[in-house]
A = this chain, B = another copy of it.
Amino acid sequence: MNSDGKQALNAALAPYLNQIEDSLQNLSLDDHIPLFYDPIRYFLDIPGKRIRPLLLLLTAEALGQKTETALPAALAVELLHNFTLVHDDIMDNDDTRRGHLTIHKKWDIATAILAGDGLMGLAFQSLLQTPVPDVATMARRFTDTMLIVCEGQGLDKMFETEPIVQPPRYLDMISRKTAVLLELSCELGAITAGVSQETISNMRRFGYALGMGFQIQDDVLDITGDSQTLGKNIGSDLQMHKQTILTIELQKQYPDTVIFDLSVSEFVALLKESGILLKVQDMYRNHFETAFEILNGLPDNPAKKHLQVLSRFIQNRNW
């Protein structure tokens, strides 16, 4: 996307982003317990793209609901996402997040555990304030998804000590860690709009496809992307010995090769000559295609257009 495209995106989404940022700012965090609430405020103030709450608000509006009604649920998915980031950062021992110190580095592990727990509690609290009749159903779906995300993190940690992971298990893991939360965002947006089960199910599939496309593409961009846009070197996943769909597919096809011993250029050459690069590119393109087909089937309205803009942005990844 060129800078004109970015400006158009920002202009279209600004009112929604403002609603989200305002409600994050307005969260009441008791200032008598700074050890608990200061790290939460610090983390929420780190600028983020707010993709999940945007998806939720736009889905709700595209299906006829007011964004104000969907806002508590939108805030809830953002808080849930932040809960996973804070705890994952401890587990993965990451020092920074979006250019800022992680909570366990700025404070300590105990404080970061508690902050993550607090974000989870605030997420449920916000969700349960959604003024729609079906809030218990929303809470059940929210809880099930939270557990699936934890399962995904468990699988991810397990894979770190497994020499060979088969592609379906890897895809299962990323679907749990990433896609289900985008799926949930769209589903909750649809539920707040009080639409049919069929439409809810379609919006779930839309969010899921978008999430899978996003995550698989993320693995590929590490070798095909622009290092300046990505903010990291080409091939950095390989150099950090990080398993991705590319290393896993290659390992399956060349069981005798030690993938992490390859140079970046050898790795790329092998991905091209084996056909794996094309195969994986087809994977994420198919997911994006599914997502856009579902979107196109919605009745035309401004929110649908915004949802298309946001989806294109997620597909193009250079915001």
Which A residues have a C-beta under 8 Å from some C-beta of B? 30, 33-37, 87, 90-91, 109-111, 113-114, 116-118, 120-122, 124-125, 128, 135-136, 139-140, 143-144, 146-147, 150-151, 153-155, 157-158
Chain B contacts for A114, CB-based, 8 A: 87, 91, 150, 153-154, 157
Taking CB atoms, residues of chain B closer than 8 Å to A109 are 90-91, 109
Chain B residues near A140 (CB-CB < 8 A): 125, 128
Interface of A is mostly: helix
Residues on B with C-beta less than 8 A from A155 are 33, 35-36
Q: In the complex, how many angstroms separate the beta carbon of A32 from the nearest chain B beta carbon?
A: 9
Task: Give Cα A68–Cα B147 distance, bound, in whole angstroms.
Answer: 25
Complex: how many Å from CA A122 to CA B148?
11
Offer 17 A-B interface pairs, CB within 8 angstroms, sorted by A. Answer: A33-B151, A33-B155, A33-B158, A35-B158, A36-B154, A87-B117, A90-B109, A110-B157, A114-B153, A117-B150, A120-B120, A121-B146, A121-B150, A124-B146, A125-B140, A128-B143, A135-B136
Q: Are A125 and B113 in contact (CB under 8 A)?
A: no
